[in-house]
Amino acid sequence: MTRDVAVLGAGMHPWGKWGRSFVEYGTVAARAALADAGLDWRDIGSIVGADTVRAGYPGHVAGATFAKALGWQGARVASVYAACASGAQAIATARAQILAGLADVVLVVGADAAPKGFFRPVGGERPDDPDWLRFRVLGATNPTYFGLYARRRMAVHGDTPEDFALVKVKNAAMGALNPNARYRGRVTAEEVAASAVVADPLRLLDICATSDGGAALVLSSTDFARRRGVTRPVRIRAVSTVTPRFPNTVLDLPDIATDSSVAVQPADETFRASIARAAYEEAGIGPQELSLAEVYDLSTALELQWYEDLGLCGEGEGAKLLREGATGPGGRIPVNASGGLASFGEAVPAQAIAQVCELTWQLRGTAGERQVAGARVGISANQGLFGHGSSVVAVR
């Protein structure tokens, strides 16, 4: 039995700092996805919202918030939160509803209005909250974590700040071609090197910003797509939402220890590598079959790590793959053809959905100047703090 679901529509609200409500961004994206699918909001059987914790009660029940903004019409509703993996969890929820026969067509929406600067923990005193602890005990803001990870790559694999800068140069060149991107200017390696040091060795242009934005998808059963005359849609073939395993040999904040109540042997792979493996296994493909990848480039160094975690190259070979041009335009496996978070910034509940929007447009062949020639299989990858895997495989 196929577990594919069809992507009938994809829509976005451009990323930026707009100073408006997340509801407006999500509603614009939802209407764009509905128009792309050729459907009316009243045709939707269920809506799944990816939550934002920064907008009070409406943000915590984003599915209902967006349903109200679009106009109450009796659809099923679900709201999910998984930090940066919220969008993938929303897609997984919609897919499960479709495969269970609970709805023929589901609207997935995520949007955020992010604060300026780096993300902070939600207010209050919470000594049992590892996110609160990493700020209060370690002073580890997100840029601090990015810098530590970059230092690890330099120590273990010999990566250099010049390698990291090339990631930004590549992604900025692609983002310059994307009308939804916030930053649309090309940059040089010299400009990266001249930007301010934020968390040594990473500079300002090595680290993604925080942004406002929204993204939405209309998903359906393949039978529904055929009834609508869509005979060859983009299809979601796998959604990986795995958790880590203890003991962790490479720590990911906010985890600050490797102990566990479960006595197990160390895993053969890191958490991020397990996210991709689960997606490949469910989809029945391997990395050699990919046409492109959209990955979570919170920093330039983290993009290089994803190359290895996705199996695009061997361990420690990410910088070599980049320098060879394999992950750039026209390369063997373009990564972040959208421009990535380097060009968009973080709008947390929307970003995993936005990755699948880009995969959809690429697999349709409608990505314009940034089109990857002959794209047939794409993968997205990111992760949410507290151990949320996030990877989607889309095919055509």
Give 241's pLDDT tier (boundaries 50, 70, 90): very high
Region 133-148: mean pLDDT is 86
Q: Are 311 and 269 in contact (CB under 8 A)?
A: no
| CA–CA distance, 205 with 396 (Å, rounded to integer) | 35
CA angle, residues 238, 313, 292, in degrees to nearest 5: 45
Residues 6+ apart with CB under 8 A from 286: 280, 311
Residue at 110 is within a domain: yes
Give 388's pLDDT tier (boundaries 50, 70, 90): very high
Residue at 21 is within a domain: yes
| CA–CA distance, 328 with 65 (Å, rounded to integer) | 39
pLDDT one-digit tens code per residue, 111-126: 999 988 888 777 788 8
Look at residue 239 and tell me whether its pLDDT is greater than 70.
yes
Same domain membership, residue 375 and residue 296: yes
| CA–CA distance, 132 with 140 (Å, rounded to integer) | 10
Same domain membership, residue 200 and residue 92: no
| CA–CA distance, 11 with 7 (Å, rounded to integer) | 11
Number of structural domains (the chain) is: 2
Same domain membership, residue 296 and residue 374: yes
Region 130-147: mean pLDDT is 85
Residue at 323 is within a domain: yes
Same domain membership, residue 217 and residue 81: yes
Residue at 122 is within a domain: no
Q: Are 308 and 326 in contact (CB under 8 A)?
A: no
Same domain membership, residue 183 and residue 98: no
| CA–CA distance, 21 with 95 (Å, rounded to integer) | 27
- Of 198, 233, 268, the one marking the end of a domain is 233
Helix axes 22-37, 62-70, angle to 10 degrees: 70
Same domain membership, residue 348 and residue 262: yes
Same domain membership, residue 177 and residue 52: no
Pairing outcome for strands 76-80 and 202-203: unpaired
pLDDT one-digit tens code per residue, 84-99: 999 999 999 999 999 9
Same domain membership, residue 136 and residue 51: no
* Residue with token string 């391997």: 286
Give 2's pLDDT tier (boundaries 50, 70, 90): confident
pLDDT at 261: 59
Look at residue 257 and tell me whether its pLDDT is greater than 80.
no
| CA–CA distance, 36 with 192 (Å, rounded to integer) | 37
Residue at 125 is within a domain: no
CA angle, residues 243, 248, 250, in degrees to nearest 5: 110
Residue at 69 is within a domain: yes
Same domain membership, residue 216 and residue 204: no
Which residues form the domain of 276? Answer: 130-208+237-395
CATH number (domain holding residue 149)? 3.40.47.10
pLDDT one-digit tens code per residue, 358-379: 999 999 999 999 999 999 999 9
- Of 199, 233, 267, the one marking the end of a domain is 233
Same domain membership, residue 43 and residue 111: yes
Residue at 221 is within a domain: yes
* Residue with token string 């709805």: 103
pLDDT one-digit tens code per residue, 309-340: 999 999 999 999 999 999 999 999 999 999 99
Residues 6+ apart with CB under 8 A from 52: 22, 59, 62, 111, 112, 113, 348, 349
Residue at 108 is within a domain: yes
Same domain membership, residue 216 and residue 303: no
| CA–CA distance, 391 with 236 (Å, rounded to integer) | 11
Look at residue 251 and tell me whether its pLDDT is greater than 90.
no
DSSP secondary structure, 118-156, as one string? S--PPSS--TT-HHHHHHHTS---HHHHHHHHHHHHHHH
pLDDT at 140: 84
pLDDT at 55: 86
pTM across the whole model: 0.96
Same domain membership, residue 224 and residue 242: no
pLDDT at 229: 96
